[in-house]
Amino acid sequence: MAYFIQLIIEGLATGSIYGALALAIVLVNRATGLINFAQGGMAVLSTFIAYALFNAGAPLAVAVLGAVVFAFVLGAVLERVIVRPFERGDPDTAVVVTIGLFVLLGGLAAFLFGYEPQQFPSFFGAEALDLGGVFVSVRSLGTIVVLIVVVVLLQLLFRATKVGLAMRAVADNPQSASLSGLPVSRLLMFGWGLASVLGAIAGVLVAPQLFVSPGMLDFVLVYALAAAILGGLDSPLGAVVAAWFIGVVENLAAAYIDVIGNDLKIAVPFLIMIVVLIVRPQGLFGRKVVVRV
Amino acid sequence: MNPNTTWQKLTRNLWVRIAFGVAVGVVLIVLPLTQSKSINLQLSMMAVFAVAILGLNIVMGYAGQVSLGQSAFLGLGAYIAAYGVAEGWPIPVIFILCAVVPAIIGLLVALAAARLRGLALAMVTIALPIIGIPLAKRLREYTGGAQGTTVSWLKAPDWVDGILENDQWRYYVVLLIAVVMFLLARNLVNGRIGRAFRIVKENEAVAIAMGISPYRYKVLAFTIASLYGGVAGFMYLGIVQYTSPETLSFHTSINLVAAMVIGGAGSILGTIFAAIYFVLVPRLANEIDPSLTALISGTVLLAVLFLVPGGIVSVPRRIGQVVRAVRRRIGPPPPTNPPYPPASVAPGAESTEKKNERKRQGQ
């Protein structure tokens, strides 16, 4: 039983990392209707900034803060300079643009920092807590707490601030928002910056485990995409719940179903995703889009 | 004396086309006889990836469904061929299996995935290489696990002994397959099915109104793409004589998509440019600095999307557009009337903006 609970908590922790990146994907999708394949690449580059600052002697907190600021600027600039011209164009082309960014950012990270995986320290240390026979690492608990804090902050931003209201207005109807005098262009940049920060948080959280390398988030990105689709692509809460669900289910499946094991556990979220999408094409929490011709 | 129309007239002349085709054919046939083994290898690889990219172009460029799983079918074809060679099956049987089995798998995936709106399909297709790699490692007795399988086959037969080396023979085999696959694809996209693909890409509601089921044609396009991927896998094993889980790599899929867009989406000729780009540019980038490869491909892809969205194949047309735009801005307007009336939007036609908006919402 203790082992079972441990598996669930570890699953929630990995799920939280997928969730942070899934949230980023959902934010971008809500704001600009795009699926950003470069979200992982942006996060990797930001994580490398944290790594570089830390190695230059900055305290860990400062290094992470630097990465967050860098991520925000990177997201905003990429939206304005590269993605903007394609936003209202053909969505297939826009996807290829983000794929191009994915390749470019990965290449940039490799060029600047090399392919060699680098160590990165954790905020939470490596100890484990004994909670009545259940051993839980502080890192797992910390990761889960960070994601919950992020979700609460995002909800506050969207529900209780004017910027959040304006962002929701732009997501809902950019034309009306623009006609009501909202600075749509700046809000889109802000939305991308915010999404990029979420990615950076995911990157910094997972870096101690996976090490920092240009391809470190490739798999996390795939899981995050699965979570975002499963949650419905326009529901932040749905994305987080789906990410946790994926994290837990794949952990349990790997532990208890012999055929799956550790190497094939990545198939589990996709099988779930395909089954769910066949039953509910709009995802678990998504709105059904009805389009007039 | 407009250079653009002269160029168009020239390219539309039947005799010019035939002469050009014959010239290209002669070059393709003579080239391997004169070149080194490594050049022949690269030429053969271009034929291999041309077929893989052609499949991708049918599903993405013509039917408008983003697929990031093409490398999975390439790998599947290569593995089937490797298994068949190890078991000593006759080569025609291997070839048919390499085409049919990936097509069936693609059909099954598409039956589920094509139900999804918009880009969700892209994300389901990502799963194929991602799951395929651990699966290939797991099924060790068939695939050779992480080390992969090496085979020795498709050698020059006895009757060309002393005339053709193995590499030259293999080049001719893959070239022949590629030419046949290209002719089939050309007929497909120019025919009824190709027109249906284009309508599904353009506007699914219109397709339904015309009695064309978008679902069925998406499934068909994806199945054909898988078949092409499998055939490319057969060719790949013929040239490389080795396959490993790396063949399926997700990055190969991404690079195939990038190359297809750079060459020209929705263009058969563009596919050839795409294959040349796919094989040549990483090699050139590698010569400069191996760590630059990804940076260069990303930059080229974005530059193409910004400057020539139609890909390399549209460069002449794009230059014409730019030249005309510049002339209009700096010089006096040309004295003669344009040969065609200026294109105007038909009263009932919807704006591109509206169309894209609808497409984004997954209709």
Q: 């699926």: which residue's tokens? A: A35
pLDDT value of position B288:
85
Is the per-residue pLDDT at B44 higher than 90? yes
Distance from CA of B88 to the nearest CA of A (A): 30
Is the per-residue pLDDT at A114 higher than 50? yes
Judging contacts by C-beta atoms under 8 Å, the chain B residues touching residue A91 are 118-119, 356, 359-360
Is the per-residue pLDDT at B187 higher than 90? yes
Domain count, chain A: 1
Strand ranges, E, within B86-198: 149-150
Q: What DSSP string describes B77-119?
A: HHHHHHHHHHHT--HHHHHHHHHHHHHHHHHHHHHHHTTS-TT
Q: Report chain A's mean pLDDT, rounded to a whole number.
A: 89
- Give the residue-averaged pLDDT of B4-24: 80
Task: Measure CB to CB from residue A289 to each of B124, B205, B361 and give the nearest one.
Answer: B361
Distance in angstroms (rounded) separating the CA atoms of residues B143 and B137: 7
Strand ranges, E, within A60-160: 128-131, 134-137
Distance from CA of B29 to the nearest CA of A (A): 35
Instruction: List helix spans (H) across B191-267.
Output: 192-202, 204-209, 214-240, 250-263
Give me the percent of chain A exceeding a pLDDT of 90: 52
- Give the residue-averaged pLDDT of B104-112: 91
Judging contacts by C-beta atoms under 8 Å, the chain A residues touching residue B113 are 274
pLDDT value of position B351:
54
Crossing angle of the two packed helices A39-55 and A218-231, in degrees rounded to 10: 130
Q: Does A263 touch chain B (CB under 8 A)?
A: yes
Task: Measure CB to CB from residue B356 to each of A90, A106, A293 and give the nearest one.
Answer: A90
Query: What φ, ψ does residue B344 adopt, rounded to 5°?
Result: -125, 155
Instruction: Label the pairing between strands A128-131 and A134-137.
Output: antiparallel
pLDDT value of position B283:
87
As a residue count, chain A comes to 293
- Give the residue-averaged pLDDT of A78-105: 89
Distance in angstroms (rounded) separating the CA atoms of residues B2 and B23: 27
For residue B226, the domain's CATH number is 1.10.3470
Do residue B301 and residue A104 have CB atoms under 8 angstroms apart? yes
Is the per-residue pLDDT at B355 higher than 50? yes
Range of the domain at B74: 36-331
Is the per-residue pLDDT at A291 higher than 70? no
Task: Name the 3-class secondary structure at B136.
Answer: helix
Domain count, chain B: 1
Paired tokens of B151: 């085979």
For B254, name the nearest residue in chain A, comparing CA atoms only.
Answer: A99
C-beta separation of A20 from A242 below 8 A: no
Is A194 part of a structural domain of the chain? yes
What is the band of B199 on the pLDDT scale with cuts at 50, 70, 90? very high
Is the per-residue pLDDT at A131 higher than 70? yes
pLDDT value of position A137:
87
pLDDT value of position B348:
45
pLDDT value of position B34:
87
Is the per-residue pLDDT at A288 higher than 70? no
A-to-B residue pairs, Cβ atoms closer than 8 angstroms? 144
pLDDT value of position B320:
87
pLDDT tens track for B250-290: 889 999 999 999 999 999 999 999 999 999 988 888 888 87
Give me the percent of chain A exceeding a pLDDT of 70: 98
Is A126 part of a structural domain of the chain? yes
Distance from CA of B238 to the nearest CA of A (A): 29
Query: What φ, ψ does residue B143 adopt, rounded to 5°?
Result: -110, -10
pLDDT tens track for B326-339: 888 876 555 555 45
Is the per-residue pLDDT at A150 higher than 80? yes
For A263, name the nearest residue in chain B, comparing CA atoms only.
Answer: B134
Paired tokens of B247: 């063949």
Is the per-residue pLDDT at B321 higher than 50? yes
Q: Which of A107-121, A192-206, B113-127, B234-248 has the lowest average pLDDT?
A: B113-127
pLDDT value of position B332:
59
What is the band of B360 on the pLDDT scale with cuts at 50, 70, 90? low
Task: Name the 3-class secondary structure at A61.
Answer: helix
Is the per-residue pLDDT at B4 higher than 60? no
Is the per-residue pLDDT at B344 higher than 60? no
Residue type at position A14: T
Name the residue among A250, A254, A292 with its Cα closest to residue A273: A250
What is the band of A89 on the pLDDT scale with cuts at 50, 70, 90? confident
pLDDT tens track for A3-25: 899 899 999 999 999 999 999 99
The count of C-alpha atoms lying within 13 angstroms of the C-alpha of B244, restricted to the half-sphere facing its C-beta, is 5
Is A259 part of a structural domain of the chain? no
Is A42 part of a structural domain of the chain? yes
Q: Is the pLDDT higher at A289 or at A28?
A: A28
Task: Name the 3-class secondary structure at B109.
Answer: helix
Task: Measure CB to CB from residue B302 to each of A100, A273, A281 and give the nearest one.
Answer: A100
Task: Measure CB to CB from residue A110 to each of B130, B294, B306 and give the nearest one.
Answer: B294
Range of the domain at A130: 2-215
Q: 């974005």: which residue's tokens? A: B302
Q: Does B254 touch chain A (CB under 8 A)?
A: yes
C-beta separation of B230 from B69 below 8 A: no
Q: 């969505």: which residue's tokens? A: A91
What is the band of A183 on the pLDDT scale with cuts at 50, 70, 90? very high
Distance in angstroms (rounded) separating the CA atoms of residues A282 and A21: 20
0.95 exceeded by the pTM?
Answer: no
Paired tokens of B142: 């068939």
Paired tokens of A159: 């529900």
Helix (H) or strand (E) holding B283: helix B268-288
Residue type at position B51: V
DSSP letter for B59, please: I
Distance in angstroms (rounded) separating the CA atoms of residues A15 and A143: 9
pLDDT tens track for B132-172: 999 999 998 899 888 999 999 988 888 887 888 899 999 99
What is the band of B76 on the pLDDT scale with cuts at 50, 70, 90? very high
The torsion region of residue B241 among left (phi > 0), alpha (psi -120 to 50) and beta comes to left
Judging contacts by C-beta atoms under 8 Å, the chain A residues touching residue B127 are 222, 226, 267, 270, 273-274
Is A206 part of a structural domain of the chain? yes
Is A54 part of a structural domain of the chain? yes
Burial of residue A239 (number of CB atoms within 10 Å: 0-12, 13-18, 19+): buried
Name the residue among B339, B361, B345, B346 with its Cα closest to residue B5: B339
Is A100 part of a structural domain of the chain? yes
Do residue A105 and residue B298 have CB atoms under 8 angstroms apart? yes
For testing contact with chain A, the best of B301, B306, B355, B359 (most A CBs within 10 A): B301
Task: Measure CB to CB from residue B356 to each of A91, A110, A266 and give the nearest one.
Answer: A91
pLDDT value of position A18:
94
Distance from CA of B133 to the nearest CA of A (A): 9
pLDDT value of position B290:
77
- Give the residue-averaged pLDDT of B83-91: 94
